[in-house]
Structure 1
């Protein structure tokens, strides 16, 4: 690879059925210059070009399209990106003039898809509507009445409307009712608020299994029986154990054999993941996000001299998403698991090495690179370039692992 991989994070864009239709790419170069700022213009073209060529954009977004923020410089002199994979996202606040409209017309004539980011309808911006295929509205910023006026005005144009900054499932349902087509925000990682309702039976079963898995005093025979009760879980676990990921010299035919050969410590995290991914009513993307977080935590731990316990970092990354899977506050869920205080405090207070790494990964997920203590990371032997590599390696590994597990989207 001739250039360093840029710092990248991706945020999913969903349809009304919670299926991913695209990702927005959040980018910085290795010098930590934000793409989309005036100072970042000079570097942004090369960084994005590298992401689409050297890196291969498929490693980051798979079969989906990539929404990429374009500053005025990039609109006027666009890099040669794939028309099939790219959605050009025109940043808000740019001066609308004849030169800009001419550039947008040229991009559309060349087959590019144009999206307007954080759009607010004014006399100046009204003319942009004719050039847009997609318009994103910030549902946190726009007052309710203004939001409705925007939707009523834009709908007749046949433009795809994206609700941006959707932070809760309640807001997701509200935006669906308003008539939005697509949805973007961090609501996926948050639990649904369910008042006056007990945790469902299948979630209760998963919680009981997780509790047994992490209780050092529970006999292996009991865990084996609990896994065996779930036929689909048993099948997927045996398929995983017999895959190339484990590299065993002989075929494993039973749960007891798998536990004896590999040990419960090695299997524990995989059973965690499989049990959570089997939950009905949860989008496929949540399993991808959870496994990506866990893998990043694990890989970072090996870079900062925590090689003797990478499993604990993987566990913290994975179980920190429990609230989103089980729609119950994380603190309440962890009270039911026999985890060490070290792991509990890592998830709840970001304390200790595991907690520090978890906080880094969570900041990275949201593209909040300013919240990462880069000096501390550098002193621990982890550079921004290496973190970027770890993210892309994690996405690749997750895609392969989900395929091995047969956990494709429904």
Structure 2
């Protein structure tokens, strides 16, 4: 296996309304289940080159900004990339001297946005605040008292405060109350559960649809009837299937025609996604990340199993975020949906090949390279370079699919 193939992942950064503000692009060199020394210059350079040259930045982050880590060596050179989308993120362990400060001044003067990563106030770090637009605070690394102290110190300076490593809904709300404007972390993939909360009528109706839809005994005629009862869902499905994501030469004009060409399992998956996307008060990014995960699971599943149709892998990726959509534990939700035992075991216990693929994809999304089972992938004929390709291909593919997905009031 190629141990030095660049790996790229992205993590969304949200504003107070839970709309995407930007993505941070992540890279590491470690492909082994042990700690190794990472070359920061190489990692950052690989992300820059992959995002701006191997791919177009629009394919990676769309219209949003891209936060990319910059080491001291990279900061001392003028970044030759788009100042409208690139956010220069200064890593926390850089030596702060006159050379670095002068470079930050030049970068700022050229119109780039500068963010300070994992910032803590000390005798040298405060000197960079003059050049900073955004300051990122690690909510897991700071006590609540320290967090409040930093907020009180930084807010009068006019910088935008970003809370990173938010892993719970409660911490998100707490940081909002402190005055943070931007938020980053893995909380979106988890349900926002409140004591005594009931599933709303909107969610209950959709859950009933999903139960019928994913019942293996439900045939084509029954699915046609289900979708026909919802004209908006029918319209969205046909619009989606006729998008650039599917590359059909002829126009698809009926659900039966779509099932014939795509297959019953895949059509079920798309109706499931469209139904979940219509849930009230859920951010658009949850649908985006779900679709990226589903496509990534599909392409990786096809590679490890040598199959041309990875529909079951797509379904596993799709249903893996149902708890965040429904605001209820996934094990309780799956009891109400008649899915196959294979998919259930994959979702709950990471069992079987589908489960292994889902586990690897979720680790990849978090850039947790050290815990990915590279040996298992190699045994199944997948190199690190292929995994990186599958992920970036999923981002590009989802961009095409999203042109036809409608997110009203998201």
Q: TM-score when scaled to structure 1?
A: 0.92
Aligned residue number for residue 236 of structure 1: 236
Contact persistence 1:68–1:89 (CA under 8 A): yes
Work out whether residues 28 and 47 of structure 1, in 8 Å CA contact, stay in contact via their aligned partners in 2. no
TM-aligned CA deviation for residue 365 of structure 1:
0.4
With 59-68 and 99-108 compared, the bigger mean Cα shift is at 99-108
Q: Unaligned 5+ residue runs, structure 1? A: none
TM alignment of 1:128-207, pairs within 5 A: 128-207=128-207
Aligned match of 1:288? 288
| Residue 126 (structure 2) aligns with | 126
Which range moves more in the overlay, 88-97 or 329-338?
A: 88-97
Which shifted more, 263-272 or 387-396?
A: 263-272
Q: CA deviation at 1:225?
A: 3.6
Matches within 5 A, 1:205-284: 205-218=205-218, 220-243=220-243, 245=246, 247=248, 249=250, 251-253=252-254, 255=255, 258-259=258-259, 264-284=264-284
Is 2:346–2:354's contact at 8 Å kept on the other side of the alignment?
yes
> Distance in 1 between the 2:103 and 2:196 partners?
55
1:267-319 CA-partner distances (Å, limit 9, x unpaired): 11111111011111100000010011010111011212341651100000100
Alignment partners' CA distance in 1, 2:39 and 2:326: 43
Q: Report the alpha carbon displacement of residue 380 of structure 1 after superposing the two structures with TM.
A: 1.0
User: CA distance change for structure 1 residues 249 and 309 in 2, over 3 Å: closer, same or farther?
Assistant: closer
What is aligned with 1:305? 305
Shift, 1:265, TM fit: 2.6
Match of residue 12 from structure 1: 12
Deviation by residue 1:178-237 (Cα, 9 ceiling, x = unmatched): 111111111111100121121111111111111111212345544434323333212211
2:343 counterpart residue number: 343
The aligned length equals: 405
Q: Bigger CA drift: 213-222 or 125-134? A: 213-222
Alpha-carbon distance between aligned partners in 2 of 1:246 and 1:396, rounded to the nearest angstrom? 14
Deviation at 1:129, TM superposition (A): 1.2
Q: How far apart are the structure 2 equivalents of 1:400 and 1:246?
A: 10
SS for the counterpart of 1:247 is coil
> What SS is found at the alignment partner of 1:165?
strand
Give 2:333's aligned residue: 333
Q: Deviations over 1:247-284 (max 9, x none)?
A: 2645525x466557765333111111110111111000
* Aligned partner of residue 22 in structure 1, secondary structure: strand
**Aligned ranges for residues 91-102 of structure 1 at < 5 Å?**
91-102=91-102
Distance 1:131-1:196 versus aligned 2 partners, 3 A rule:
same
Cα–Cα, structure 1 residues 50 and 238, in superposed 2: closer, same or farther, change >3 Å? closer
Matched residue, 2:390: 390
For residues 96 and 165 of structure 1, do their structure 2 counterparts lie closer, same or farther at Cα, with a shift above 3 Å needed? Answer: same
Q: Which runs of 5+ in 2 are unaligned?
A: none
CA contact (8 A) 1:9 1:25 kept: yes
TM-score between the two structures when normalised by the length of structure 2? 0.92
Distance 2:385 2:72 in 1: 27
Larger RCO (CA within 8 A; separation ≥ 6): 2
Q: 1:402 matched to which residue of 2?
A: 402
CA contact (8 A) 1:88 1:114 kept: yes
- Aligned 1:50-65 pairs, distance under 5 A: 50-65=50-65
Contact 2:292 2:394 in 1 (8 A): yes
